[in-house]
Amino acid sequence: MTVEDLLPDNYRDRASEYKKGTDTMDVWFDSGSSWAAVLEKRSDLQYPADLYLEGTDQHRGWFQCSLLTSIASKGKAPYSGVITHGFVLDEKGLKMSKSLGNVVDPITVTEGGKNEKEAPPYGADVLRLWVSSVDYTGDVLMGPQVLRQMSEMYRKFRGTLRFLLANLHDWN
């Protein structure tokens, strides 16, 4: 980008008075200016974006830097709305990590693990039910107990729906 590209409209005629710095800035200012490279350069997108969607950790990162760079150069936010989601934690409320050994693998959830007693195959429908039942705006828990509860709930839904469908044979 040229100095002129970075300046608000009412300063562009004086671009020669400014020098583009080469100092290193916080990494968030780099990603925080992505709206200029994406929303303004692609004909299939529009500025501002309808929505920015990220994790709750981005309030002081990407969201704020996007807002600051856009306000400074355009006078308005690069987005019309912001939605933040929580994170999937283990059943104790801890961040999942390989080193802790508490990561829940979706393939293992749907297809089962090496030890079927410890990791039975729940199928995609149980995983879908869990995803559709949680409040994405906060952190959510996932683990063996949660999966057993979802499996039981799914079994009850499925049984009830099968009963209802079986009794519709002569209904008009």
| Residues 77 and 147 grouped into a single domain | no
| Residues 43 and 99 grouped into a single domain | no
| Number of folded domains that form the chain | 2
Q: How far apart are CA 21 and CA 86, in angstroms?
A: 37
| Residues 69 and 121 grouped into a single domain | no
| Residues 8 and 73 grouped into a single domain | yes
Q: Is residue 116 part of a domain?
A: yes
**Domain end point (choices 85, 113, 139):** 85
Q: Is residue 28 part of a domain?
A: yes
| Residues 24 and 76 grouped into a single domain | yes
pLDDT at 28: 82
Q: Is residue 172 part of a domain?
A: no
pLDDT at 171: 80
Label residue 22 by pLDDT band (50, 70, 90).
Answer: confident
Cα dist from 62 to 95, 135, 140, 158, whole Å: 21, 23, 22, 42
Whether 25 has a pLDDT exceeding 80, the answer reads no
DSSP string of 103-148, one letter each residue: ---HHHHHH--SSTTTS----HHHHHHHHHHS-TTS-EE-SHHHHH
**Domain end point (choices 35, 68, 85):** 85
Average pLDDT, the chain: 93
| Residues 121 and 58 grouped into a single domain | no
pLDDT at 170: 82
- List pLDDT tens digits, range 111-149: 999 999 989 999 999 999 999 999 999 999 999 999 999
pLDDT at 33: 92
| Residues 53 and 74 grouped into a single domain | yes
The type of residue at 140 is V
| Residues 94 and 35 grouped into a single domain | no
**Domain end point (choices 38, 69, 85):** 85
pLDDT at 154: 98
Whether 24 has a pLDDT exceeding 90, the answer reads no
| Residues 71 and 107 grouped into a single domain | no
| Residues 135 and 74 grouped into a single domain | no
Could you identify the residue written with the tokens 């306000």?
A: 71
The type of residue at 25 is M
pLDDT at 72: 94
Q: Is residue 8 part of a domain?
A: yes
| Residues 28 and 12 grouped into a single domain | yes
Q: Which of 59, 60, 64, 62 is nearest to 84 (CA)?
A: 59
Q: Is residue 171 part of a domain?
A: no
Ranges 19-28, 70-79, 131-140: which has the least confidence: 19-28
Q: Which of 78, 82, 83 is nearest to 35 (CA)?
A: 78
| Residues 37 and 72 grouped into a single domain | yes
Residue 50's domain comprises 3-85
